[in-house]
């Protein structure tokens, strides 16, 4: 359809709109809001009109206006497209042997992140682009209509800039992660590597990026180094996000809060002070349960964060080492089954939560005026995403009003 044409999706068994009032948890009848995501909200027997790439109307199916094209959802659920706010998709090679060894409890010495760095540096642009596009298409088929994509497997000026330029071909949410790990050639001079990340590498990367990120962890970058990387990125016009508190307690969340970061990601090991920092600042706690699943580690304490009032997002952390899933439905199922989140909280975190973590107000909800990024499930409600784990249930995906994956009857 052209942007001038309108599409009515009617017969929606459950329309998840996320246009509830902030934190009151009550359903909303789909009336226009201020254009921002609210709390989880859903209505039954609903309809939605797309026009000009945006949501033009929502309400009871019995009152739906006419449109150029009519799609009958036949009692199935419609949700906002997923917003995956954390992914590492620019890489070459794979690490299935490392995963198998980890699952078998066998020691495994080859590579890790640095193995992927070596393969990525050696890969052609065409090979990296093909892998990136394959993963982006895989995400789209599973209902992810917005994703963030990091560099971090190049770790030279040339390779980081190349990775970000490739990422910018497929998403506007591009993140400079030169501070992923210290590469082997700087093993004896980590401070020199931080200078490179904050200097010439940043200069080469900032034009392609919106975000700056740092892996703040023992064995990667400490608090002072992380703060320096974020400050340099911010001075170059980038916005901050942080890999924080993944492998153990540490300063990551505090660094994120002090830098005014949009999100602290992982949040697996948190002190009470960390939880306070996440509730008293706008920093989103982005949980990545695919990592704990794939590394057989304890899951983050989502319930503790939610009960304290933190804003929680869910994302895949799709990468070839610690979490090689691109599936937001899988992360929702883990969050519900393993992390004590309700189905409503998990779906909100995977849609509106991801939007918050990316500081986007045009996505993550289906209020009037939102970008028409939405999915039709082969199921009557959002609950089925956790109730039927591992089953492909995304029937159709619209992005900015265009049907981009799946099919409608
Ligand atoms: Zn990550």
From ligand 1's centre to the CA of 320, what distance in Å? 11
d(CA 243, CA 328): 19
Task: Classify 96 as helix, strand or coil.
Answer: helix
From ligand 1's centre to the CA of 317, what distance in Å? 5
Are residues 250 and 218 in contact, defined by beta-carbon separation less than 8 angstroms? yes
Structure tokens at 223: 């608090």
Which positions ≥6 away from 96 have C-beta within 8 Å?
A: none
Residue 322's nearest CA partner among 200, 217, 197 is: 217
- What average pLDDT does the structure give for the chain? 94
From ligand 1's centre to the CA of 409, what distance in Å? 38
Mean pLDDT of 163-189: 97
From ligand 1's centre to the CA of 244, what distance in Å? 10
Q: Taking the model in full, what pTM does it have? A: 0.95
From ligand 1's centre to the CA of 351, what distance in Å? 18
Task: Classify 51 as helix, strand or coil.
Answer: strand
279 DSSP 8-state letter: H
Backbone angles phi, psi at 239, to 5 degrees: -105, 150
Mean pLDDT of 81-94: 98
From ligand 1's centre to the CA of 8, what distance in Å? 38
Flag whether pLDDT at 1 surpasses 90: no
Mean pLDDT of 248-261: 97
Task: Classify 397 as helix, strand or coil.
Answer: strand
Which positions ≥6 away from 122 have C-beta within 8 Å?
A: 92
Q: For position 33, what pLDDT does the model report?
A: 47
pLDDT in tens, 271-292: 999 999 999 999 999 999 999 9
d(CA 64, CA 59): 7
């Amino acid at each position: 359809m052209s942007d001038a044409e309108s599409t009515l999706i009617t017969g929606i068994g459950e329309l998840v709109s996320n246009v509830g009032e902030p934190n009151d948890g009550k359903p909303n009848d789909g009336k226009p809001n201020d254009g921002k995501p609210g709390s989880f909200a859903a209505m039954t027997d609903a309809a939605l009109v797309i026009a000009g790439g945006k949501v033009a109307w929502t309400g009871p199916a019995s009152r739906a206006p006419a449109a150029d094209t009519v799609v009958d959802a036949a009692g199935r659920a419609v949700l906002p497209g997923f917003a995956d706010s954390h992914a590492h998709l620019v890489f070459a090679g794979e690490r299935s042997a490392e995963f198998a060894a980890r699952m078998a409890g066998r020691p495994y010495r080859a590579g890790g992140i640095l193995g992927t760095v070596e393969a990525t540096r050696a890969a052609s642009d065409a090979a990296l682009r093909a892998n990136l596009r394959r993963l982006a298409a895989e995400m789209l088929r599973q209902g992810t209509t917005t994703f963030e994509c990091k560099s971090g497997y190049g770790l030279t000026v040339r390779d980081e800039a190349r990775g970000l330029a490739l990422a910018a071909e497929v998403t506007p949410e591009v993140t400079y992660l030169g501070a992923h790990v210290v590469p082997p050639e700087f093993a004896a001079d980590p401070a020199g590597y931080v200078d490179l990340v904050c200097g010439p590498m940043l200069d080469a990367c900032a034009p392609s990026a919106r975000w700056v990120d740092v892996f703040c962890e023992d064995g990667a970058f400490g608090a002072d180094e992380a703060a320096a990387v974020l400050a340099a990125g911010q001075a170059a016009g980038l916005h901050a996000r942080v890999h924080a508190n993944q492998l153990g307690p540490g300063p990551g969340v505090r660094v994120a809060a002090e830098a005014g970061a949009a999100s602290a990601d992982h949040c697996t090991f948190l002190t009470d002070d960390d939880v306070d920092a996440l509730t008293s600042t706008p920093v989103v706690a982005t949980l990545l349960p695919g990592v704990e699943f794939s590394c057989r580690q304890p899951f983050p304490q989502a319930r503790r964060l939610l009960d304290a009032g933190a804003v929680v997002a869910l994302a895949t952390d799709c990468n070839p080492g610690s979490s090689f899933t691109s599936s937001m439905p899988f992360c929702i199922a883990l969050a519900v089954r393993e992390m004590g989140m309700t189905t409503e909280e998990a779906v909100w975190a995977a849609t509106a939560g991801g939007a918050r973590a990316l500081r986007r107000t045009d996505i993550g909800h289906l209020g009037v005026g939102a970008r028409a990024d939405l999915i039709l499930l082969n199921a009557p409600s959002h609950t089925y995403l956790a109730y039927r784990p591992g089953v492909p249930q995304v029937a159709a995906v619209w992005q900015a009003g265009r049907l981009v994956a799946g099919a409608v009857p």
